[in-house]
A = this chain, B = another copy of it.
């Protein structure tokens, strides 16, 4: 258990940081029932803090029921998830090797959502798109042709940078949809946007490097940066995007290396950064010599015909922006295809990192996506998808306003797959989730989206992954749950 304490620039006390780090591991199920925590004395020594500091953190965890402290024996993790069976089966031998508990590791948590997939609930937790809305039949037929025409497609490595035909087609797509001019030589294919973020983290972020992230933020990005030991500072997400004033204040004090942002239909809040703010953010990056990671997972899924501003990459002239465009969500989560766009030596390093991570993506999935992009189907498909998602959003909204009224607060999303719901602040979304699972419906507790100081009264609800029927049923169950819990 490697805990990186931030001593200078944190809004959290050392006690709170230790408490929170351990809590995250419990919630990610990295620490499970019966696991022994390091002794107070040992952890204090390892972290170079006083015994009192660790003791306070442990006491708080014990008070809240996360651990049990037995005098003279140590502190053990309590069972928290009795009624939550994760989808994946467990090895029977967990925690049976005591010596393993002493191995210091660098895993803080892992996308909570991955650990909270249940067998058969109505799934509002995962932001993927319902399979019937995706061009799976086309992709399947294409794959059949591909393997028929050239079975050796399965017998070859692809070049690390990804198939050049696919990159050329993506170049055309980005040009057409955003008027973004990027040469395909500066594009690389990655296994989803998640891998793109991870490649950036492993290339440029090391222990103590300052990274600025949105608060709240996409969970997978938090995990990637924390895994590198980054000193993460946050800027709140406002209606027009990440708070630039906070960023400038940080830049005046410190030397951030990287800013991660999800400017269009931000995950989880759904907000859109204004065009002016995009330009200003780029100016800040230029002024201070900072990289921007621009995560564009769903920017082309806008509603009400309101086209969002162009990607920040559009104005980038000096290689500051590493732009990540996902094709998983609108086309095929199962193909795991996204592209990363960057330039200069930064790009070279990212290609080298991909070689170390997994050598290359499979060629077959790349060629299948290529066929779809080359066909005349991409733009009509996106058009159809926008309408389908818009209808779902409205349906949910009507349901909520009829049945929940003022019990919850949320802003109507203008695109994307999620709605970000605020409950009165005394309520705890994680505890609600336990009940929700009993009612066969699930969602993402908002606390998973916070780097630090998690607010526990938020919920991210994805309206994209279920069928229409499940949407209605799930909304009803959700509303019942909220009503009965908030009364």
Q: Which residues of A contact B (CB under 8 A)?
A: 2, 28-30, 32, 35, 87-97, 99-107, 109-111, 114, 117, 126, 128-129, 131, 134, 136-137, 139-141, 143-144, 147-148, 151-161, 164, 183, 185-186, 191-192, 194-195, 198, 202-207, 209, 220, 223-224, 227, 229, 257, 289, 291, 318-319, 332-336, 343-349, 351-353, 355-365, 368
A198 touches B359 (CB 8 A): no
The 7 closest A-B pairs by CB, nearest first: A140-B147, A110-B352, A131-B155, A136-B151, A97-B319, A110-B355, A191-B358
Residues of B within 8 A of A185 (CB): 89-92
**Contact A100/B194 with A156-B333, A334-B362 known, Cβ cut-off 8 Å:** no
Taking A28-B352, A35-B345, A220-B356 as known contacts, 8 extra A-B pairs with beta carbons closer than 8 A to each other, sorted by chain A number, are A32-B348, A99-B318, A128-B156, A131-B155, A131-B156, A155-B333, A156-B333, A227-B353
- In the complex, the chain B residue whose C-beta lies closest to that of A187 is B91
- Give the residue of B89, B257, B319, B358 whose beta carbon is less than 8 angstroms from that of A358: B358
Complex contact B136–A103 (CB within 8 A) = no
Chain B residues with Cβ under 8 A from A336's Cβ?
A: 358-362
> By the criterion CB–CB under 8 Å, are A352 and B30 in contact?
yes
Chain A to chain B contacts (Cβ below 8 Å), 18 pairs: A2-B206, A87-B159, A89-B185, A91-B185, A93-B319, A110-B352, A114-B159, A128-B157, A131-B155, A140-B151, A141-B147, A143-B364, A153-B334, A154-B332, A206-B207, A223-B356, A334-B364, A364-B365
A418 CA to B147 CA in the complex, in Å?
29
Is B358 a contact of A30 with CB atoms below 8 Å?
no
Chain B residues whose C-beta falls within 8 Å of the C-beta of A143 in the assembled complex:
143-144, 147, 364
Determine which residue in A151, A257, A319 has the highest number of CB atoms from chain B within 10 A of its CB, and name it: A151
Q: Note all chain B residues with C-beta closer than 8 A to A204.
A: 103-106
B106 near A345: Cβ-Cβ < 8 Å: no
Please name the residue on chain B nearest to A224 by beta carbon: B356
Q: Is the CB of B198 within 8 A of A159?
A: no
Across the interface, A183 reaches (CB within 8 A) one of B92, B141, B348, namely B92
Cα A352 to Cα B110 in complex, Å, equals 5
How many copies of this chain does one complex carry?
Answer: 2
Establish whether residues B192 and A359, one from each chain, have CB atoms under 8 Å apart when the complex forms: yes
Q: Which residues of B contact A2 (CB under 8 A)?
A: 206
Expressed in whole angstroms, the Cα–Cα distance for A89 and B148 within the complex equals 29
Closest to A147 in B: B140
**Centre residue among A97, A117, A229, A257 by max chain B CB count within 10 A:** A97
Pairwise interchain contact B356-A111, C-beta atoms closer than 8 A: yes
A142's closest neighbor in chain B, by CB?
B147
A362 to B140, CA, bound (A): 13
Partner of A194, one of B29, B202, B359: B359
Choose among B29, B192, B345 the residue that contacts A95 (Cβ–Cβ < 8 A).
B345
Residues in B whose Cβ lies below 8 Å from that of A318: 97, 99
Pairwise interchain contact A353-B155, C-beta atoms closer than 8 A: no
Evaluate contact between B345 and A94: CB separation under 8 angstroms.
yes
Q: Cβ of B195 and Cβ of A357 under 8 Å apart?
A: yes
Residue from B94, B111, B207 within 8 A of A355 (CB atoms): B111
Q: How far is the CB of A479 from chain B (nearest CB, A)?
A: 27
A224 to B355 CA separation, bound complex (whole angstroms): 10
CB-based contact B352/A88 at 8 Å: no
Given the complex, which residues of B lie within 8 Å of A345, measured CB to CB? 30, 35, 94-95, 97, 100-101
- Shortest C-beta distance, A301 to chain B (Å), equals 16
CB distance from A135 to the nearest CB of B (A): 9
A206 contact set on B, CB distance < 8 A: 2, 104, 106, 207, 229
